Amino acid sequence: MSDILILNESNYAQVTGAGTVAVDFYADWCGPCKMMAPIFDEAKDAYDGKVTFCKLNVDEAKSIAMENKVLGIPTLLFFKDGQIVDRVTGVIDKPTLYAKLDAIV
């Protein structure tokens, strides 16, 4: 079982540049982000070995959030070989998250 990777300015491009990656853009003070966290964490276990799960704190990496047009949090971006293939803003339930992941693996 792999851990959720913490992304920052120095590793973002490398991690999202290859394979299937899900990134949770969040902030520590964000209530909806705290609601999304256990759902995202459970998906990490279910898709272990198929999807790389990452979190990016928008307060610590504002330029990456702006570059990806993240205007609200939580925002989940789904990457396939370096390209954003899907995105969702706001809290989503487990079946919706799993459906999005199934579509990209």
Residues with a known catalytic role: 30, 33
| 8 A C-beta contact, residue 91 and residue 32 | yes
Token code pair at residue 99: 């459906």
Q: What is the dihedral of CA 20, 51, 49, 40, to 10 degrees?
A: 170
